[in-house]
Chain A
Amino acid sequence: MRFLRIAATGCVLAAAGAAVACGESLGGARTTVEGGKYTVAYTTSPAPIVVGQHFSLDLAVCAKGGVPAPQSVRIDASMPEHRHGMNYRASITSPRAGVFRAEGLLFHMPGRWDLTFDVVADGATQRLTSTLRVE
């Protein structure tokens, strides 16, 4: 079952500047999502994601100029065409500042999934969304 990256809210591919550097430590083929204040870069394990099997995410959250560093991140996913979410809640750890690991995610149906990253810093939250299609 193949995992196709079709879009990400904002921008899919790292283009230039800080976005290119964000998540370099993750290694492997990473997806980059641009928001107004933050850039999120992530890899999945396994890659590609397999429908019906748990996967984990390693991600880096990079603050843009003058923006507070991220304190935490919440990760969830939903199928907008079906109007339901996952049957599992991701657990998130942070091995070092700005780097997070999410475990326990599972896409239980093929189709479009919106993977959301809620980046929290100084009491404010910015949501970044990466849209995936899994088959």
Chain B
Amino acid sequence: MASARQLAAIALVAAAVPAIAQAPPPVTFTDAEVRRILSLGPWPPPPVVDPSNRVSGKAEAIAFGTRLFADPRLSTNGAIACTTCHQPGRAFTDGLPRAQGLARVDRNTPTVNDVGGQRWYGWDGAHDNLWAQSLRPLVDPREMGDGVAHVAAAVRTHGDLRERYVAVFGRPPPADDEVVAVDVAKALAAYQEVLATPRTPFDDFRDALARGDAAAMARYPQAAQRGLKTFVGAGNCTACHLGPRFTNGEFHDIGIPFFVEPGRVDPGRHAGIRRLGASRHTLTGPFNDDPVRAPGTSTRHVSLEHRNYGEFKVPGLRNVARTAPYMHNGSLATLRDVVRHYSDLPEDRLHADGERILKPLGLDRYGIDDLVAFLETLSAPLPRP
């Protein structure tokens, strides 16, 4: 592979290939910026298999999970399925600021694309594995249910579900409702693990940069290149949105108000860690199928701090143009609103506990356009009708 300095020189040449008289100055990247760009790939990653889920990666479980994901019989009113909020045609989101199940919930529906292999799940990271995260809406009275009993009864009483359950887990549904419900969640997790976003125009640029292919790099729009330079350079967005998934998988306060309504706040990560500690459905608990409990390192060492109050998970940015509205409470309608938020950050609302991570980007409207143009290249183009 070429050195970062050689690649930076190629980046300059590639930008100049389509030069025309009135074109803006070509985009150049420093050695450090090239390293950061390369660290945002390659894509896609290897398939995920979860050792805590004994049916992870198994075709029959994936097929069962696919059906369960769209099955409203898992909800207490028989009308709400996982797909009610995680709509496949909307990049597994619902387009609403805050999700609507049996009742309106406090947070925005996150996509389940690229959801496998994460360290924490949910805006507050209350779960350390995908099957526990998949169980939560099934038993939450605001979303689909009121406990594990309804889920277990649905599997036992509907012949098609029972038959598939036996095929996947090798035994009839046992008498313990919690065991059956966790198994259902593990089948749901097996399905979601295979939901991966496709390659994007950014990935083509990043790979072209890695192999020093100036002609291929030149096909990446100049506005996106300028936005990318802000993202990995002066904007320092890769402080949190790093790696091929564009997230560090952790939690930050970015100045979004955490009042749900007057007099009621969403504590975010602070409550998430407390819920994690109270849960039986963790990697350190009895439902982890991995006999050596190896993946539980994060749960055994996570530290509850006062600064966690009002922190929410850093979302990945792949497919981000398809998942509006944005932020944990869906309060920002468009990508442009998000970039404006970071450009005009209310510093007086930050650093309550002394953190100094964020600074306003101070972008003009052209800079905002460029950053939006870059973010849009993190989504694969939609097929033409």
A residues in contact (CB < 8 Å) with B? 1-2, 51-52, 54, 81-91, 103-106, 108-111, 135
Contact = CB atoms under 8 A, between A and B. Distances in A.
A87 B302 contact: yes
Report whether over half of chain A's contact residues are helix, strand or loop; otherwise say mixed. Answer: loop
Contacts of B240: 109
Interface string B151-188: 00000000000000000000000000000000000000
Interface string B233-247: 000001110110000
Report whether over half of chain B's contact residues are helix, strand or loop; otherwise say mixed. Answer: loop
Nearest to B32: A135
A26 B28 CA distance: 44
- Sorted nearest first, the 7 A-B pairs with minimum C-beta distance are A104-B301, A88-B301, A108-B250, A89-B303, A83-B354, A52-B248, A82-B357
B301 A90 contact: yes
Given A54-B297, A81-B356, A109-B239, A88 B307 contact: no
B293 to A, nearest CB: 13
B336 interface: no
B248 A108 contact: yes
Contacts, number: 69
B364 interface: no
A81 B39 CA distance: 23
A5 B248 CA distance: 22
Contacts of A82: 355-357
Nearest to A82: B357
B3 interface: no
A84 B248 contact: no
Given A82-B355, A84-B307, A103-B297, A111 B239 contact: yes
B27 to A, nearest CB: 21
B54 interface: no
Nearest to B300: A104
Which residue among B249, B301, B356 has the maximum number of chain A CB atoms within 10 Å of its CB? Answer: B301
Given A83-B355, A109-B242, A135-B36, 16 more contacts: A1-B39, A51-B243, A52-B248, A83-B354, A83-B356, A84-B354, A85-B305, A88-B302, A88-B303, A89-B302, A103-B301, A104-B301, A105-B301, A108-B250, A109-B250, A110-B239
